């Protein structure tokens, strides 16, 4: 068994299971000597995993799929035997855009269809006035944030490629960019939404769990070749992360202390705990909003990488023109998520019912009917 | 651009010294169209305006993810941009990532023309980190000497040693305990702080 591992991560709350697994000694208890390496960009994490400078990584779920499909970059088959987080992102807007949206809102502000329709009205009004298109920040072309923003606004009739600008921004630059008007809104993971609200420069418009009930966010990613050569180390790592995820769900306060360390996430434990508790300050005036679905680290089977999640992400890549639709590619995408490795390592039986996506718009998603999903949406780059 | 002219190279780097080293190297090698971008705000717009053939970025820069956006189909991009390193370039990827640099090129620029640019970037990046290591080592050596001098002073005062006797004691203790003289000196300073 290979005992010594280098694992890359980006300082975000959904790296929690990995960080806690190492810092609480769960990996050591499994006989693993893990060095965590904090990284500054997803491109770096991907490249260092691909070429073997990392044995494993905290990775955007769609990047693991894109790498395996060879889109956007070099093709390197990746496996994801552990889901580090479900949900956890939020959409934050400037106070000015928030006021504009609320002025055009019909219905409940936590209803994503109501806000998406309000956004369509604001976009239309700005067009009439000859104003610049609104700019939305997201973290990576192959990111849940990109797909979640697109899914939400397109449901209200806003074409993400025609009506607004979507730009990639590294998470640490999100808040500054919102403050100095480079973007009007962003979709990012914790803690950045809370930091914008605390600074008084942003309103959290939506938790992503408003848009999708269950969205696989970050995965524990490994090269397939490494996973095949090191099955025992892999199982040990999955178990350590599983134990850490359980620990986090039961000990938010202690987990927040661990994550707050300067070489880990490096922000105040209080802000981190808000995310874990799912109780977030959503407006600078101090309004709080609570959701039991804000971020799932291990509860409700969140750690099991479900095939349906990989299929949904692949469907978004097709919908937005990043890859053509093909049964082979769908199979490859689904094959990245490895619930079998998870079940074997954890010693648990597969759940009786499959997980759902639970999107607020369109028909229920089924992994075996990607075409049905694509046909359900008018705004799309996919040509049937 | 015409592929036969010197390609326009943009260096995206927040370190002015490293960028200067790289720029100088590229110019010496005959690449005259080199522009350094150090401002990360509005990076993509700046790059589109400069319209480079090659973009070089350091891996410590979070804005690398911004550049990845250029691979995407978008009307904002006048020319498609692809990563230099493709499937057949495993060794190049390895060397560049280890050196801490990454390069992006516009589709259509011949590989033979890119290779010397990337090789040069890799060697200059490696030279820069070697320089930084040496600087670090020199700094810590200086720091050690200061600590040793203070420890000698304490020993001279408390034990009535000459400077040479104090140094001999430090050195022999270090050898016996298999530690560095600086570490022994530091523990003397710590102990004398505690006993104050």
Same domain, B182 and B119: no
CB contacts under 8 A, B 105-144 vs A, are none
Give the residue numbers spanning the domain of A187.
Answer: 89-211
Residue A376 within a domain: no
CB contact under 8 A, B65 and A50: no
Same domain, B20 and B101: yes
Same domain, B114 and B148: no
Same domain, A183 and A301: no
Q: Tell me: the pLDDT tens digits for A211-242?
A: 999 999 999 999 999 999 999 999 999 999 99
Same domain, A59 and A99: no
First to last CA, chain A: 48
Residue A258 within a domain: yes
pLDDT at B88: 57
Same domain, B14 and B92: yes
Nearest Cα residue in chain A from B75? A161
Neighbouring C-alpha atoms within 13 Å toward the C-beta of B73: 14
Exposure class string for B37-53: b at 16+ Cβ within 10 A, else e = beebeebbeebeeeebb
Q: Tell me: the pLDDT tens digits for B23-60?
A: 999 999 999 899 999 988 888 888 888 888 888 888 88
Total structural domains within chain B: 2
Same domain, B129 and B159: no
Q: Is B30 left (phi over 0), alpha (psi -120 to 50) or beta?
A: left
Our CA-based measurement puts residue A237 at a distance from the nearest CA of chain B, in whole angstroms, of 26
Same domain, A202 and A240: no
Residue B168 within a domain: yes
pLDDT at A131: 96
Of B17 and A102, which is predicted with more confidence? A102
Same domain, A227 and A365: yes
Same domain, B66 and B118: yes
CB contact under 8 A, A41 and B65: yes
For testing the chain A interface, which of B39, B62, B94 should be mutated: the one with the most A CBs within 10 Å? Answer: B62
Same domain, B61 and B128: yes
CA dist B36 and A309 (Å) reads: 42
CB contact under 8 A, A170 and B41: no
Residue B43 within a domain: yes
ipTM for the complex?
A: 0.87
Residue B1 within a domain: no
Listed residues A164, A196, A211: the one ending a domain: A211
Residue A380 within a domain: no
Same domain, A230 and A306: yes
pLDDT at A215: 95
CA dist A196 and B188 (Å) reads: 48
> In this structure, are residues A116 and B43 in contact, taking their beta carbons and an 8 Å threshold?
no
Same domain, A105 and A240: no
Listed residues B133, B160, B179: the one ending a domain: B133
Residue B4 within a domain: no
Same domain, A201 and A227: no
Where does A164-234 show beta strands of DSSP type E? 165-168, 185-189, 203-207, 216-223
pLDDT score of B152 more than 80: yes
pLDDT at A56: 98
Residues of A engaging B, defined by a Cβ cutoff of 8 Å:
40-44, 47-48, 50-51, 53, 70, 72-75, 139-141, 161, 167-173, 177, 180, 182, 321-322, 381
CB contacts under 8 A, B 156-195 vs A, are none
| Nearest CB to A172; choose among B62, B66, B93 | B62
Residue B29 at interface with chain A, using a CB cutoff of 8 Å: no
The residue ranges of chain A whose pLDDT is under 50 are none
Residue B45 within a domain: yes
* pLDDT bracket for residue B1 (50, 70, 90): very low
Listed residues A211, A228, A243: the one ending a domain: A211
Assign residue B164 the CATH number of its domain: 1.10.10.10
Give the residue numbers spanning the domain of B125.
Answer: 9-133
Same domain, A201 and A347: no
The three-class DSSP label of residue A310 is helix
Residue A44 within a domain: yes
pLDDT at A125: 98
Residue B97 at interface with chain A, using a CB cutoff of 8 Å: yes
CA dist A352 and A340 (Å) reads: 14
Total structural domains within chain A: 2
Same domain, B16 and B92: yes
Listed residues B102, B118, B133: the one ending a domain: B133
Residue A381 within a domain: no
pLDDT at B122: 84
Assign residue A187 the CATH number of its domain: 3.40.190.10
Kindly state the average pLDDT of the residues B147-175. 93
Same domain, A126 and A174: yes
Same domain, B187 and B110: no
Same domain, A97 and A144: yes
| Nearest CB to B41; choose among A53, A70, A182 | A182
Same domain, A74 and A168: no
Q: Residue A85 forms beta bridges with which residues?
A: A218
Same domain, A173 and A97: yes
Record the tokens describing residue A200, joined without a space.
């008084």
Q: What is the pTM of this model?
A: 0.86
């Amino acid at each position: 068994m290979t005992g010594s591992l280098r694992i890359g991560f980006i300082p975000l709350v959904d790296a929690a299971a990995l960080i806690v697994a190492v810092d609480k000694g769960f990996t050591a208890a499994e006989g693993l000597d893990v060095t965590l390496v904090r990284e500054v960009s997803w491109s770096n994490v991907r490249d260092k995993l691909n070429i073997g400078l990392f044995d494993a990584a905290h990775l955007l779920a769609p990047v693991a799929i894109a790498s395996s499909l060879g889109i956007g970059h070099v093709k390197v088959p990746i496996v994801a035997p552990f889901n580090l987080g479900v949900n956890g992102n939020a959409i934050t807007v400037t106070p000015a855009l928030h006021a504009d949206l609320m002025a055009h809102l019909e219905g409940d502000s936590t209803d994503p269809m109501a806000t998406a329709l309000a956004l369509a009205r604001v976009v239309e009004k700005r067009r009439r006035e000859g104003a610049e298109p609104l700019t939305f920040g997201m973290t990576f072309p192959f990111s849940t944030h990109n797909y979640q923003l697109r899914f939400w606004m397109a449901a209200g009739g806003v074409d993400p490629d025609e009506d607004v600008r979507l730009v990639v921004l590294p998470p640490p630059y999100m808040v500054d960019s919102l403050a100095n008007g480079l973007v009007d809104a962003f979709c990012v993971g914790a803690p950045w939404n809370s930091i914008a609200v605390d600074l008084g420069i942003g309103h959290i418009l939506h938790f992503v769990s408003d848009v999708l009930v269950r969205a696989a966010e970050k995965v524990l990613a490994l090269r397939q070749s490494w996973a095949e050569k090191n099955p025992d180390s892999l199982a040990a790592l999955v178990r350590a992360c599983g134990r850490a995820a359980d620990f986090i769900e039961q000990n938010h306060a202690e987990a927040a202390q661990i994550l707050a360390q300067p070489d880990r996430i490096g922000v105040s434990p209080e802000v981190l705990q808000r995310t874990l508790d799912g109780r977030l300050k959503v407006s600078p005036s101090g309004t709080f909003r609570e959701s039991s679905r804000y971020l799932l680290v291990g509860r409700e089977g969140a750690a099991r990488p479900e095939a349906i999640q990989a299929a949904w992400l692949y469907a978004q890549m097709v919908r937005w023109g990043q890859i053509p639709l093909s049964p082979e590619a769908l199979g490859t995408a689904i094959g990245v998520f490895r619930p079998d490795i998870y079940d074997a390592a954890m010693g648990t039986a597969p759940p009786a019912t499959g997980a759902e996506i639970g999107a607020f718009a369109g028909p229920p998603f089924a992994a075996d009917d990607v075409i049905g999903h694509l046909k359900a949406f008018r705004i799309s780059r996919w040509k049937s | 651009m015409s592929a036969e002219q010197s390609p326009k190279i943009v260096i995206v780097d927040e370190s002015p010294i490293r960028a200067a080293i790289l720029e100088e190297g590229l110019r010496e090698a005959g690449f005259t169209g080199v522009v350094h971008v150090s401002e990360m705000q509005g990076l993509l717009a700046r790059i589109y305006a400069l319209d480079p053939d090659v973009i070089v970025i350091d891996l410590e820069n979070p804005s690398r993810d911004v550049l990845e956006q250029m691979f995407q189909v978008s009307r904002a991009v006048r020319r498609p941009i692809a990563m230099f390193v493709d499937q057949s370039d495993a060794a190049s990827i390895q060397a560049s990532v280890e050196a801490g640099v990454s390069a992006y090129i516009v589709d259509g620029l011949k590989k033979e023309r890119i290779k010397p640019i990337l090789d040069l970037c890799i060697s200059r990046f490696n030279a820069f980190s070697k320089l930084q290591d040496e600087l670090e080592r020199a700094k810590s050596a200086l720091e050690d000497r200061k600590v040793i001098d203070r420890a000698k002073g304490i020993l001279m005062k408390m034990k009535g040693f000459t400077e040479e006797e104090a140094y001999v004691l430090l050195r022999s203790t270090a050898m016996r305990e298999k530690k560095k003289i600086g570490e022994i000196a530091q523990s003397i300073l710590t102990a004398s702080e505690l006993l104050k």
